[in-house]
Amino acid sequence: MRLITSAAAALAVALTVVRAADPSPTIGHTATLIDKTVFIQGGSSALNTAQNKAFSLILGTNGTLDNSTLIDHTDFSKFSARDYAGSVSTNGLMINCGSMDQAPSSGVFSCDVFNVMKYNSTPMATVPTSAVSRGGLASTVADDVAYFLGGSGPNDQGFSNKTNVLVLGTMAQLKWRVDADMLTPTRYHTANYISGVGVVVLGGQIQGGNVLSMNNAVILNAGNWSTRPIVGDPCPARFGHTAVLSEADGLLYVHGGKISTTTAPLNDIYSLDTKASTWAWKKLIVPTAEPRAFHASVLLNDGNLLHIFGMFTRLLPLSRLSLSSLSLLSLAQNPEKPLFFFN
């Protein structure tokens, strides 16, 4: 057991790691906030192999990082090894689908269903038999359905434009259907459901290594795809970024990612007011945040944006958490301080 404290007095927190071994550097993992716990699963190791790692970050009072506890329950939970998967939650279940560790010809799409009360995982019995194995997909929940979009197989194989839709409910009620194909086969993009708008896809990488512009949002609504221009501050094309929606005010926060396979991760943060009639990027002009790509981000109950693991340089993955205080961002103060160091 090891106690790790914040480097920033203004954001002072304590984290207890339960297990002798610290988290190994990880990219391409998933993170889902359910009530006051962030569930972290899978990812790719420094050796580029899929992992079955499972952690729970149990938040403290009022769902904040104060006195949080990080638990490694890999052996108990029995997740399948997955990397660059999609993750959604419903009715006390976390559902992880897809992986980059199999070629498209090796099998069909597969999912694990994790019971957050029992802390155990079982393979989903019903999967879309027409969907090939793939990772690098994006996922989001819209009312009573979850969307899993795009992705590819390993080594640039089989870029996908498929939209697989999971009708949510209890374990026995889960069932699949398909929706309209994406306009372009894409991987390493983001997807967010925005009420009154639809499923909004941003960025990503396409066949040949090209990267999609952030000047247009690609939107699925009522079975049809369309594009919507985004103006404002220049936001570089990117992939491997995160996009987190604040439902209270409609602001979408984009952080990090890469502009090419040969460049270091980005350290910028942009906001997009999705309730405005004209969508416009706003670059948050603050001291630079920590660069990350292929990480995970969740919005905590206190309005802070938590970034989990990911790629820090071109080759170095992280086993580190850090916090972007959105309240500080609005005051143009330092948005991010690294909180917990494991490596």
Q: Could you read off the pLDDT of 241-293 as tens digits, one per residue?
A: 999 999 989 999 999 999 999 999 998 999 999 999 999 999 987 555 688 99
Q: How far apart are CA 165 and CA 147, in angstroms?
A: 5
Those residues whose C-beta lies under 8 Å from the C-beta of residue 277, and which sit 6 or more positions away, are none
Q: How far apart are CA 322 and CA 341, in angstroms?
A: 9
Instruction: Flag whether pLDDT at 115 surpasses 60.
Output: yes
The answer to whether 228 and 219 are in contact (CB under 8 A) is: yes
Those residues whose C-beta lies under 8 Å from the C-beta of residue 288, and which sit 6 or more positions away, are 267, 268
Look up residue 330 and give its DSSP letter: H
Give the range among 39-48, 139-148, 326-335 with minimum mean pLDDT. Answer: 326-335
Q: How far apart are CA 256 and CA 290, in angstroms?
A: 8
Instruction: Flag whether pLDDT at 182 surpasses 90.
Output: yes
Q: How far apart are CA 233 and CA 240, in angstroms?
A: 20
Return the pLDDT at 302.
81
The answer to whether 200 and 194 are in contact (CB under 8 A) is: yes
The pLDDT confidence band at residue 16, using thresholds 50, 70 and 90, is very low
Return the pLDDT at 327.
55
Return the pLDDT at 325.
67
* 203-226 residue pLDDT tens: 999 998 999 999 999 999 999 999
Average pLDDT score over the chain: 82
> Which of 65-79, 85-99, 315-329 ranks highest by mean pLDDT?
85-99
Q: Two tokens at 34?
A: 């359910």
Amino acid at 14: A
Q: Is 105 left (phi over 0), alpha (psi -120 to 50) or beta?
A: alpha
Return the pLDDT at 102.
55
Question: Which has the higher per-residue pLDDT, 255 or 90?
Answer: 255
Instruction: Flag whether pLDDT at 150 surpasses 80.
Output: yes
Mean pLDDT (whole number) for 74-94: 88
Instruction: Flag whether pLDDT at 300 surpasses 80.
Output: yes
Q: How far apart are CA 27 and CA 157, in angstroms?
A: 20
Instruction: Flag whether pLDDT at 93 surpasses 80.
Output: yes
CB-hemisphere CA count at 13 Å for 277? 0
Return the pLDDT at 181.
96
Q: How far apart are CA 191 and CA 169, in angstroms?
A: 21
Mean pLDDT (whole number) for 172-182: 90
Q: How far apart are CA 212 and CA 205, in angstroms?
A: 6
Quick one: which H or E segment has residue 318? Answer: strand 317-325
Return the pLDDT at 287.
54
Mean pLDDT (whole number) for 312-328: 66
Instruction: Flag whether pLDDT at 15 surpasses 60.
Output: no
Question: Which has the higher per-residue pLDDT, 221 or 104?
Answer: 221
The answer to whether 245 and 194 are in contact (CB under 8 A) is: yes
